[in-house]
A = this chain, B = another copy of it.
């Protein structure tokens, strides 16, 4: 990456992005862990979904998007999402490995291609990947509010 202020200067490398992504996933995992088991799939504010369901959505988006970015095949999450805290945490770790394995195969050129993710989201590949993190930060923050409302101290936001 040569020094330049040109429009095509890199913001960060593909590997730096993966570390950023997995750092956020590690924080989300700590938020799942922080929930009392009996509130994870039931507690809610303002009629929104419980955090366990939001964590399930994160799982359904993350590994399939990494794999679609790598291969151009957008395959919906095959397994049912776990409905227990322990099940979510184990699946989280399995999908961490799936993401790492897929990411190795993603090229810079591929990230700049336009593609229709899951037959619906027509955008550049890097933007479809970014959306997964954005969505995770957004819904994880709902989890922070739920934890505060339950009187539970959430994990520090800045730790990854």
Q: How many residues of A contact B (CB 8 A)?
A: 49
A142 contact from B16, B17, B109, B145, Cβ within 8 A: B145
Contact at A11–B14, with CB atoms within 8 Å? yes
A106 contact from B5, B109, B112, B139, Cβ within 8 A: B5
A142 cross-chain contacts in B, Cβ below 8 A:
141, 144-145
In the complex, A93 Cα to B133 Cα: how many Å? Answer: 26
Contact at B3–A108, with CB atoms within 8 Å? yes
A144 cross-chain contacts in B, Cβ below 8 A:
138, 142
How many copies of this protein are present in the complex? 2
In the assembled complex, how far is the CB of residue A111 from the closest CB belonging to chain B, in whole angstroms?
Answer: 6
In the complex, A16 Cα to B126 Cα: how many Å? Answer: 10
In the assembled complex, how far is the CB of residue A2 from the closest CB belonging to chain B, in whole angstroms?
Answer: 7
With A5-B105, A157-B135 as known contacts, state yes or no: A46 contacts B149, CB within 8 Å.
yes
**In chain B, what residue has the closest Cβ to A143?**
B141
Give a binary string over A125-148; 1 marks a CB under 8 Å from any B CB, 0 the rest. Answer: 011001100110111111011011
Binding site for B on A (CB under 8 A): 1-5, 7-17, 20, 24, 45-48, 104-109, 111-112, 126-127, 130-131, 134-135, 137-142, 144-145, 147-149, 157-158
19 pairs of residues in contact across A and B, judged by CB atoms under 8 Å: A1-B109, A1-B112, A3-B109, A4-B108, A5-B107, A5-B108, A7-B13, A10-B10, A10-B11, A11-B111, A12-B17, A20-B127, A45-B148, A46-B148, A47-B148, A138-B138, A138-B141, A141-B145, A145-B145
